[in-house]
């Protein structure tokens, strides 16, 4: 059947092939099944957009094939619903690869079906493959140049962070803020993990990143920063799972540990205790260390009794004298004291 303007036709589902320039790569299977159930009950309410290609068979005859420009989600759901035909609008004339990609991007943008990563990939493909500037891409898709440029910049994040953005574990605002730490990958990774574990808001992440940027400027202004302190900061950060800063002062220094709740504080304290327990020497190790640097007498005094104490002195009990001997000794008269000799007179 046909309408005024673009004509709508019903074609067999198996004759519609996907758009090779489809920018959308992620399809939520649950939502796809929900759409399939709706199509099974009410049909496809919005036609797919296709181009028609005449393909010659080996026997010389021709058949029509329809290449999808927009509507892949509806096509997939229609196949799940096992319906025989779908409504399509056929774009007349040969469509260039650029036009197919442009139409697919625009259709997905209008329906807000693209996630931030797929959108960025599509914009970059349009710019790189067809030699377009960001301003030209923006004009074709109906967005601002800043919107296109900021989207493409997201692709500068590590792959695992892009995957988190794809599946919705973090928001686009989180990702944009993480880009500010591209030149500090260790701290970027720490902040990324805090986003996932602590469910930080975009505003909280912006505050953390601004503080990191301020510290970077401060250290640059101080000139050559102690490499040992930088290494200590990295080790503290890895051990405690949160950002740690060390600041030198005239009389020592200051250690700053970031936390966001009482639970965070308890976890940090627990990690410190666990680390201390792992690093603490055993009693035997302490004795060995003392023995290597201390005189033996001191080591013996500090060592456990089982290793250095002498054998215990066993005292045998004496047999008491017989009663007759005691009686005889009692009857003897006391002896007179022997007088001292008087000095002789010359």
User: Which residues are known catalytic residues?
Assistant: 72
- d(CA 95, CA 115) in angstroms, rounded, equals 26
Ordered DSSP codes for 204-225? HHHHHHHHHHHHHHHHHHT-S-
Question: How are the residues of the chain apportioned to helix, strand and coil, as percentages rounded to the nearest 5?
Answer: 55, 15, 30
C-alpha span between 285 and 94 (Å, rounded)? 82
Give start and end residues of each alpha helix (H) in 250-302.
Answer: 262-279, 283-293, 296-302
Measure CA 185 to chain center. 12
Query: Would you call 63 helix, strand, or coil by DSSP?
Result: strand
**Cβ atoms within 10 A of the Cβ of 142, count?**
11
Q: How far apart are CA 118 and CA 26, in angstroms?
A: 8
Q: Which of 127, 130, 108 is nearest to 19 (CA)?
A: 108
Backbone angles phi, psi at 25, to 5 degrees: -115, -15
């Amino acid at each position: 059947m046909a309408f005024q303007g673009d004509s709508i036709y019903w074609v067999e589902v198996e004759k519609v092939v996907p758009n090779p320039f489809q920018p959308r790569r992620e399809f939520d299977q649950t939502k796809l099944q929900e759409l399939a159930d709706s199509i099974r009950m009410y049909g496809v309410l919005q036609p797919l957009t296709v181009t028609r290609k005449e393909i010659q068979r080996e026997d010389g005859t021709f058949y029509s094939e329809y290449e999808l420009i927009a509507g892949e989600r509806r096509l997939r759901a229609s196949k799940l619903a096992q319906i025989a035909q779908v409504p399509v609008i056929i774009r007349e004339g040969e469509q260039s690869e650029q036009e197919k990609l442009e139409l697919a991007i625009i259709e997905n943008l209008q329906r807000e079906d693209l996630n931030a990563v797929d959108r960025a990939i599509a914009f970059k493909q349009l710019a790189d493959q067809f030699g377009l500037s960001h301003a030209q891409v923006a004009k074709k898709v109906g967005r601002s140049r800043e919107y296109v440029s900021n989207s493409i910049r997201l692709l500068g994040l590590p792959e695992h962070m892009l995957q988190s953005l794809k599946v919705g574990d973090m928001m686009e605002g989180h990702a944009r803020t993480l880009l500010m730490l591209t030149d500090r990958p260790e701290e970027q990774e720490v902040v990324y993990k805090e986003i996932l574990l602590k469910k930080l808001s975009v505003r909280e992440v912006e505050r953390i990143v601004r503080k990191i940027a301020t510290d970077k400027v401060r250290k640059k202004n101080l000139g050559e920063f102690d490499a040992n302190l930088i290494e200590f900061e990295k080790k503290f950060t890895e051990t405690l799972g949160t950002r740690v800063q060390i600041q030198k002062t005239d009389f020592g220094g200051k250690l700053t540990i970031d936390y966001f709740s009482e639970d965070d504080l308890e976890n940090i304290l627990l990690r410190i205790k666990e680390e201390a327990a792992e690093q603490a020497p055993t009693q035997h190790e302490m004795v060995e260390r003392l023995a290597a640097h201390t005189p033996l007498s001191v080591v013996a005094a500090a060592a456990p009794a089982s290793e250095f104490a002498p054998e215990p002195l066993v005292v045998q009990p004496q047999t008491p004298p017989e009663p007759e001997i005691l009686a005889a000794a009692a009857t003897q008269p006391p002896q007179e004291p022997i007088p001292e000799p008087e000095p002789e007179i010359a």
